Structure 1
Amino acid sequence: MKELFAKRLKSARILAAISQDELVARIEGMVSKNAISKYERGEMMPNGKVLIVLAKALGVKPDYFFREFNVEIEQIEFRKKSKLGVKRVNAIREKVVDIVERYLELEQFLSIKSEFRNPIAHLVIKNQDDIENAVNLLLKKWKLGLNALPNVIELLEDKEIKVIEIDAPEAFDGFSGWADRKFPVIVLNQNFSIERKRLTALHELGHLLLNFSDQLEHKEVERKCFQFAAAMLIPEETFKIELGGKRTHISLPELVSIKETYGISIQAIMARAKDLGVISEHLFINFRKWISRNKTEAGLGSYIGKENSNRFKQLLYRAASEEVISLSKAANLSNQKLAAFRKEFVAI
């Protein structure tokens, strides 16, 4: 019991992105930093009163400290800007672990056995041609065709990938990894534009699926994942139908139209055009200079569609309506108060 509590307390503190000193301040010195350290080392346990105060200070329910179900997320590919900071990075990781734990626990209640298979694992990625071949094979294996992907997140969830959206600072892009070495996980910043979400989700899919040559450095692997994401959104054959084989100039209305149809940013379209040899390096550099004044592409069209992760909630409502779990347990799994869950849940 002490070991479980110790691990959970430290996890909750990291999730809150605070130090032991800051936790002591939040609980107004009810116990000392030395006591907190002993709790986290599993050397002693708090009494009931302290436990409740700790839970409130850390924003978790008291039973969080004794929840035995646990997962490990490994092989993490974490993309962030340096200004995010170590505390925020660790907090995001702990938040994702907590969500994945509840996700997998819910699937266990519903007797859902996720079995993910990578249909392109045998391909070794060295260059741009390898990326195009991998995308074409994946589209064929997943029976997606060459048209625009209407909902990337829904597609990934249908393929047994856990997609999690979190409220994070702009400095956080996303990450991917494996829970318990067999459940693929993709994490997205819910505050991004829809085009950025789609590209980021598929970039992280690249990290999960692509078997990169050992000769590629990390920076080149990242670049190949972006190329993979853009190719998934608009495959080479489709791209050249839209823009032609060679261009010396491209009009802005053309780019906006493709953006609105395929859900890919104008910047990613132009990068893809350069990678496929449709435009010259010189034209691409001139475009980069022009777009640098409007990186968010404000006023340059937007994809009309939805990109939200809904599978966890759908499974939760199913489990509650079928009385596989109680409303109280459903609220606990969704990290809500019972009254709030009752308000949004209506069984027919």
Structure 2
Amino acid sequence: MQRNPSEIFSRRLRQARLIRKLSLRELAEAMGSKVSYNALAKYEKGKMMPSGEVLAAICSALNQPADFFFRGFTVDLEKVEFRKRSRLSVTEEKAIVEEARDFFERYGEIEELLHAKIDFKTPFEASNRALGPEGVEALADELRSAKHWNLGNDPLPNIHELLEFKGIKVYVAQTENQAFDGLSGKANASPVIVLAHWLESNLPRKRMTEVHELAHLIVPLDSDQPLREKERVISRFAGAFLLPKQPFEEMFGKNRQTISLGELIQIKAYFGASIMAIMKRGEQLGLVSSAVYQRFCMFVSQQQWRTVGEPGDAEYKGDETHSRFQQLVFRAVAEGIITSSRGAALLRIGLDEFRAQFQQLFA
């Protein structure tokens, strides 16, 4: 339901402040002497509206265009859960959620204008049965099969693009905090995934995070299972989907007692998965023993891979970006549905930058 302007402004002010991770007092300080803490508090409670001069100062301090503060709320984010191991502060969690909400609102707006929404089709029926390892493997194979996504057993070239074309919107949050890698949820009942920007420098890790969050969205879980067991199911599905058994087994080999780093880097380059994920998959499939896997984990700790990064990242040449949202905005401008100014606002870039990227071929 659309609210009155003061109520919309008050909620948008709070949202923009949370995105910037500022308290009201910190925002007042950032604005210098232009507005007091008390006035900001009244704006946020919907008791008062700012003048044009103050609004301009708020826009500058919070790095938002003026139209942001008067745009109606169109997206309800639901079932958004940060992982239990997350070490993020509440302030950082709120910033990620509100930043993502803004993106999904803009994405939904352009889809509605173009009648271009892709409806997500849930591949598996809800179930309250506990899934064993074989059941999880079967689900991953089924999703890749012609019955559902028709992917075969080849490596996935671009998971971000795949998810978008299946109706799952993906947003990369502007955070470099490695305490956060990803989350999933629903935006107006449609599935969404939010990823951390720092993953752009580690594509194998980003790919595993994408399929892990996909698993949270689609794998039917037993509600009575302990959280740890649910996470094991999710992780197993993600590994099986990214590294399908047959081709993985052929490359990795059976009954391995030792394995070279050179082999692992080649497998990493082929599948776009981290060496640690590859060795875990080898243990899951019984291709290496638990003892061999434990020795590998000790080696990883000694080499401090979790801190300094593992070798072979440069060997993976894949792409994990997608520009559907930008393409839809360009299309709407080209067809005269929205102006260039509106297109720039939707993409959160300046008008000159928008025109440079847009490059209309003919009038």
SS in 2 for 1:187: strand
Q: Cα deviation per residue 1:72-102 (whole Å; 9 max; x = unaligned)?
A: 1111132486543221111111100000000
1:279 aligns with 2:288: yes
Check conservation: 2:19, 2:99, Cα contact below 8 A: yes
- CA distance 1:82–1:210, change in 2 (3 Å): closer
Partner of 1:168: 175
Check conservation: 2:243, 2:281, Cα contact below 8 A: no
1:235 aligns with 2:244: yes
Check conservation: 1:125, 1:131, Cα contact below 8 A: no
Partner of 2:119: 115
1:103-252 matches, within 5 Å, as 103-122=107-126, 124-140=129-145, 141-169=148-176, 170-181=178-189, 183-192=190-199, 193-252=202-261
1:56-95 matches, within 5 Å, as 56-79=60-83, 82-95=86-99
Could you tell me which runs of 5 or more consecutive residues in structure 1 were left unpaired when the two chains were aligned: none
Q: Distance in 2 between matches of 1:260 and 1:276?
A: 20
Q: Distance in 1 between matches of 2:288 and 2:311?
A: 24
Check conservation: 1:260, 1:304, Cα contact below 8 A: yes
Q: Which amino acid aligns with 1:5?
A: F
SS in 1 for 2:102: helix
1:20 aligns with 2:24: yes
Q: Cα deviation per residue 1:127-183 (whole Å; 9 max; x = unaligned)?
A: 2222101101111111000111111111111101101112212222011110012x2
Q: Distance in 1 between matches of 2:37 and 2:313?
A: 53
- CA distance 1:325–1:70, change in 2 (3 Å): same
Deviation at 1:301, TM superposition (A): 5.6
Q: Cα deviation per residue 1:266-297 (whole Å; 9 max; x = unaligned)?
A: 10011111112211111111001112222311
Q: Which amino acid aligns with 1:128?
A: P
Partner of 1:262: 271
Q: Which amino acid aligns with 1:340?
A: E
Deviates more, 1:79-88 or 1:141-150: 79-88
Q: How many residues align?
A: 347
Q: Distance in 2 between matches of 1:290 and 1:300?
A: 18
Give TM-score, length-normalised by structure 1.
0.95
2:315 aligned residue (302, 307, 324): 302
Deviation at 1:338, TM superposition (A): 1.1
Q: Which amino acid aligns with 2:173?
A: I
1:315 aligns with 2:322: no
Q: Distance in 2 between matches of 1:109 and 1:300?
A: 40
1:325 aligned residue (331, 338, 341): 338
Give TM-score, length-normalised by structure 2.
0.91
Could you tell me which runs of 5 or more consecutive residues in structure 2 were left unpaired when the two chains were aligned: none
SS in 2 for 1:191: helix
SS in 2 for 1:149: coil
Partner of 2:40: 36
Deviation at 1:53, TM superposition (A): 0.9
Q: Which amino acid aligns with 1:144?
A: L
Query: Percentage identity across aligned positions?
Result: 40
1:342 aligns with 2:358: no
Q: Distance in 1 between matches of 2:58 and 2:19?
A: 13
Q: Which amino acid aligns with 2:134?
A: D
Q: CA RMSD in A?
A: 1.7
Q: Cα deviation per residue 1:219-248 (whole Å; 9 max; x = unaligned)?
A: 332232222221111111222222234322
Deviates more, 1:319-328 or 1:205-214: 319-328
- CA distance 1:232–1:88, change in 2 (3 Å): same
SS in 1 for 2:64: coil
Q: Which amino acid aligns with 2:79?
A: Q
- CA distance 1:19–1:110, change in 2 (3 Å): same
